[in-house]
């Protein structure tokens, strides 16, 4: 079976900070949910319009517009980082971008 073109790699944490996990359980909505929720919502609205634009470009030209593709990759990367932190898979607070 050929390998899927998207790879999601999260290293297994040998040791997690228990206090950080406790803080996320009780206060995660405050310091993750509110700032990243607002940012992700605005970023997501823009991504929605980029998806429509990219779909129309693909429909009429048969090619994916490179800047639209890069924008959506950054958006997906950002969402995955926030989710990995929220789900206690990583201890590093996610940045407000999708850049590596």
C-alpha 34/C-alpha 41 separation (Å) is 10
Quick check: 68 and 90 in contact, CB under 8 A?
no
pLDDT computed for residue 63 by the predictor: 95
pLDDT computed for residue 1 by the predictor: 57
pLDDT in tens, the chain (100 residues): 567 778 888 888 888 888 888 888 888 888 888 999 999 999 999 999 999 999 999 999 999 999 999 999 999 999 999 999 988 888 888 998 877 6
pLDDT computed for residue 100 by the predictor: 66
Quick check: 54 and 47 in contact, CB under 8 A?
no
Q: Which of 91, 85, 80, 86 is nearest to 18 (CA)?
A: 91
pLDDT computed for residue 20 by the predictor: 86
pLDDT computed for residue 37 by the predictor: 93
């Amino acid at each position: 079976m050929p390998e899927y073109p998207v790879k999601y790699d999260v290293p297994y944490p040998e040791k997690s900070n228990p206090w950080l996990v406790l803080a996320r359980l009780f206060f995660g909505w405050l310091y993750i949910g509110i700032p990243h929720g607002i940012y992700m919502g605005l970023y997501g609205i823009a991504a929605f319009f980029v998806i429509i634009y990219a779909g129309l470009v693909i429909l009429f030209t048969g090619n994916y517009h490179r800047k639209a593709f890069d924008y959506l990759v950054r958006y997906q990367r950002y969402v995955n980082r926030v989710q990995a932190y929220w789900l206690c898979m990583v201890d590093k607070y996610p940045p407000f971008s999708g850049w590596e």
